[in-house]
Structure 1
Amino acid sequence: MFSIIKSIGEDMNRYIRKNLGPLEAKEICSKYSTEVIASCAFGIKSNCFESEDADFRKIGRAMFDFNWRNGVNQAVHWFSHSWAKAFKVGFFEPWVMDYLNTTFWDTIKKREESNVKRNDLVDILINTMNNKELLSENSSERDKVIGHAIQIFLAGFETTSSTIAFTLYELCIHPDMQDKLRNEIITNIKENNGIITYEGIQNMNYLDMCVKETLRKYPVLPFLDRRCNKDYQIPGTNVVIERGMPVLIPMLGLHYDEKYFPEPDKYDPERFADKNSINVNGLYYVPFGEGPRICIGERFGLIGTKVGLVHILSEFVVERTAPTPVPIEFAQKSFILQSKVGIPVKFKEYLPEDS
C-alpha cells in the first residue's frame, strides 16, 4: 500500500502549494489521514483535498469535535459500560454509524460483484464473512465484522493526523530541528535517485526519533483502557485488581514522568537516539499499548505518518505565526489529545537557499 500512501502525499502537497501561507496544520493532516485510511483500508476515495466539505471529513469532525451529546455518551462508555449496553447508548451519533455502515456495505457489495482484488481490508472482510468455520449465516455476526472495520477507520485517521500535526508544530518552534530533519530527508531522497522509497524512510533515523518524541509528548489517547482477565494482587500491597475490573492506565502521566524522561515538557528527539534504552525498567513508553492488545495498526500508522512528514518537509518550510499557541493548551472536553485552538502555522515553499 506504500505507493497509494505516496500518491496521497503528493495530493496533499499540491493542496498546500495552492494555499501557501497561514494554514491550520491539523485540518490538512486530517484530510491526508482520512484519504489514506479510506483508500488503503476500504478502496474509497474520500475527495478531502477536492472538497472542503467532503463527507468523510464531516464524519471525522462529528466524531472528535466536542458537543454535549458526544461528551455525555462517551463518558458513559468509559466509566459505566454496563449502562451503555443496557440503554443502548451509542459512542458516536447514530447518523455517523449509519453512514459508515452503509458506505462499507456498499463497498463490499461492489467488490464482490466485480471480483476485483486489492489486498486491502475489504478483501479480508469478504474472506472472513465467507468463512463458515468462523461465522455462521447469522446477520449479527456479519455486522460485528463490519463493526471492526468501522473501528479501524475511526482509530486510524485521528492517530496519524494528530502525530503529523504535533510534529509540525514542534518543528515550527524549533527551526534548527526542522532544518536537521529536512536535510536528512532530502539527502535520503537524492541517494534513492530522487524517489521517496519505503526502504529510504526506514533509514531516516532522525525522522524516527522525532516521531517517537512526538508520540511521547503528545500521545493521541492520553490513557489506555483495559479489562483485567484474572485476579491480580499488586506486588508489595494488599490491593487486588479483580477479574473483569476495567483499568485505566495514564499514558500521559507515564510519558511525563521525570524518572524516565528528564525535562518532560521539553521536545527532545535525542531521547530516542538509543532505541535499546527505552522500556528497560518496565513499560513506561507505550504510545501504541503493549503486549497481546498492542495496536494492530502500529506499523500502518507509523508509515502513514512518516510519508506525510517526508512529503511536507521536502517541499515546504513550516513557520510559527502570531496565532501559533506556545505552549499548547489541551482541550479538556475531549477524550483524545487536542489543542484548544488548533495548530495554526505558516507554510512557505522550500528553496535550497533557505537551508
Structure 2
Amino acid sequence: MYPHKTPLLSVSLKIEGDRLQKYLANNLGVLEAKEIAAKYSTEAMARSFFGINAHCFDDENAMFRVLGRKIFDFSVRNGLVNTAYFSMQKLVRLFRINIFEKWVFEYFIDSFTKAFEARENSTTRKNDFIDILIELNKKDGGNGLFDMDKINGTGLQFFVAGFETTSSTISYTLHELCLNKTVQNKVRQEILANMKENDGLTYEGVMGMKYLDMCVKETLRKYPAVPFLDRKCVNECKLPGTDLILEKGASVYIPLVGLHYDEKYFPEPDKYDPERFANPKCNSEGLVYLPFGEGPRMCIGERLGMLTTKLGIISVLTKFEVERCAQTPDPVIFEAKSLVLQSTVGLPMTFKYITPPPA
C-alpha cells in the first residue's frame, strides 16, 4: 500500500494500515468507529513497541484488546482506584493499590518479558521499542538503570498511553468528518493529491498534509484524550493577577475542556472548524491549547502518536467514506464516570467504499 521514497516509519505501521483497510473492506456498513480505531491502535502499539501481533483484527476477543477494555472501560473498581490515585495518594502507597487489575498487569508483564527476552537472545532486529531498550540496557553496563522491573513498567506505560489516545483521536476525527462531508472531501482530496504527487505515501508527504494536520488538531481541541492534566507544584508561587498562593507540593489540575471551549480563544467552540488552526500560533495569548501538555512533562510520544493517528485516518479515507447513520450521536454526550472522554453510546457510523472509487 505504501511505496515511499523516504522510509515512512517502521514496517509495523504500514502492516497495520493495510490490515485496517482489509478489515473495513470485509465489514462495510454501520460500525463502531471507536472499536475499529482501538483495534488499529492496539495493533500498532503492540507491533511498534514490542514486535507482537495482537490479532485484534482476527479475533474480537483478542487478549490485548480485552486488556485495553479492562484498563479504560468504566467499572466500579476502576472508578474507585482512579479517584484514589488523584486524591488519596497516601492511601494508595499505604495499601500498594495497583491502578490495573492484578491479572491484567501480570498478563501484560508476562507477554512483554517473554518478548524482550526472546529478542535479547536472538539476532532479529525490528527497529522497535524493544530494540531501543536492549541497546540502552547494553550501554548501561549493568548499573541497574534498566532492570527488568523498570523495563516492564516503561513498556506498560508506553502501551497504555499510546493506544487509547490514538484510538480516541482517530475515532473522534472520523465522527466529525461523517458529520461534515465538505471537510471530509477536502481532506481526502489533499491525501490523494499528496500521494499522487509523491508516487505513494512518504514521510515527507504525511508531514506536508497541512489540512489533515489542522483536522487532527481541531479534533484534539474538541476531544482532548483526557479532560484535565494533573501536575504538582514544585515551588511556592503566586498566581499572577490574584492573591492565590500555590504551596509547594500542592496538586494542580488544569481543565483542558474548559480551556479548549473558551470562546475568548476559540470562537464558536462547539463548531468543528479546522481552519482555526491555519494560524500555527494558537497559543500566542498564553497556554490555552494543551492536548499533549507543555514543558518538560509534556507527552513524550506526541510525534509517534500524531503520525500513527494520521496514518490511521489516511488508511480509512483513501478507500472509504464515512457517513452518519441513525445511531450517530450529535452532539456527543460524554460518560461522566470515565477518566477519558468517552461517548455514552459509542461512535457508530456507516463505512462504505468511495463513490466513485479512487483510481
The TM-score bracket by the shorter chain reads over 0.9
- Asked if 1 retains the 8 angstrom alpha-carbon contact of 2:233 and 2:247, the reply is yes
**Cα distance in 2, alignment partners of residues 317 and 61 from structure 1:** 27
**Selected match of 1:212 from 210, 217, 230:** 217
**1:198 match:** 203
- Asked if 1 retains the 8 angstrom alpha-carbon contact of 2:10 and 2:48, the reply is no
Aligned: 1:255 with 2:260: yes
**1:50 match:** 58
Using the TM superposition, give the Cα deviation of residue 352 of structure 1 relative to its aligned residue in structure 2, in angstroms. 2.7
Tell me the amino acid that sits aligned with residue 340 of structure 2.
I
**2:120 match:** 112
**1:126 match:** 134
**1:186 match:** 192
**Cα distance in 2, alignment partners of residues 17 and 299 from structure 1:** 29
**1:145 match:** 151
Using the TM superposition, give the Cα deviation of residue 201 of structure 1 relative to its aligned residue in structure 2, in angstroms. 1.0
**Cα distance in 1, alignment partners of residues 26 and 254 from structure 2:** 43
- Asked if 2 retains the 8 angstrom alpha-carbon contact of 1:26 and 1:165, the reply is yes
**Selected match of 2:238 from 225, 233, 237:** 233
Q: What do the CA deviations read for 1:52-88 (whole angstroms, capped 9, x no partner)?
A: 1111000000011111011101110011112111111
- Asked if 1 retains the 8 angstrom alpha-carbon contact of 2:10 and 2:127, the reply is no
Q: Secondary structure at the match of 1:114?
A: coil
TM-score normalised by length of structure 2: 0.94
**Cα distance in 1, alignment partners of residues 116 and 21 from structure 2:** 31
How do 1:304-323 residues align onto structure 2 when only pairs under 5 Å count? 304-323=308-327
Q: Secondary structure at the match of 2:121?
A: helix
- Asked if 1 retains the 8 angstrom alpha-carbon contact of 2:319 and 2:357, the reply is no
- Asked if 2 retains the 8 angstrom alpha-carbon contact of 1:324 and 1:345, the reply is yes
**Selected match of 2:333 from 329, 333, 347:** 329
**2:74 match:** 66
Decide whether aligned partners of structure 1 residues 80 and 10 sit closer, same or farther in structure 2, where only a CA change above 3 A counts.
Answer: same
**1:288 match:** 292
**Cα distance in 1, alignment partners of residues 301 and 237 from structure 2:** 29
Using the TM superposition, give the Cα deviation of residue 134 of structure 1 relative to its aligned residue in structure 2, in angstroms. 7.7
Using the TM superposition, give the Cα deviation of residue 133 of structure 1 relative to its aligned residue in structure 2, in angstroms. 6.3
Q: Which stretch of structure 1 is more off in the superposition, 114-123 or 289-298?
A: 114-123
Number of residue pairs matched by the alignment: 351
Using the TM superposition, give the Cα deviation of residue 125 of structure 1 relative to its aligned residue in structure 2, in angstroms. 2.2
Tell me the amino acid that sits aligned with residue 96 of structure 1.
V
**1:160 match:** 166
Q: Which stretch of structure 1 is more off in the superposition, 335-344 or 224-233?
A: 224-233
**Cα distance in 2, alignment partners of residues 305 and 183 from structure 1:** 18
**Cα distance in 2, alignment partners of residues 160 and 32 from structure 1:** 9
How do 1:18-37 residues align onto structure 2 when only pairs under 5 Å count? 18-37=26-45
**1:170 match:** 176
**Cα distance in 1, alignment partners of residues 169 and 95 from structure 2:** 35
Aligned: 1:41 with 2:45: no
| Runs of 4+ deviating beyond 3 Å | 127-135
Task: Structure 2: give runs of 5+ residues left out of the alignment.
Answer: 1-8
**Cα distance in 2, alignment partners of residues 295 and 85 from structure 1:** 25
Using the TM superposition, give the Cα deviation of residue 156 of structure 1 relative to its aligned residue in structure 2, in angstroms. 0.2
Q: CA RMSD in A?
A: 1.7
Identity of aligned residues (%): 50
- Asked if 1 retains the 8 angstrom alpha-carbon contact of 2:223 and 2:341, the reply is yes
Q: Which stretch of structure 1 is more off in the superposition, 81-90 or 314-323?
A: 81-90
- Asked if 2 retains the 8 angstrom alpha-carbon contact of 1:224 and 1:250, the reply is yes
Task: Structure 1: give runs of 5+ residues left out of the alignment.
Answer: none
Tell me the amino acid that sits aligned with residue 284 of structure 1.
V
Decide whether aligned partners of structure 1 residues 83 and 134 sit closer, same or farther in structure 2, where only a CA change above 3 A counts.
Answer: farther
TM-score normalised by length of structure 1: 0.95
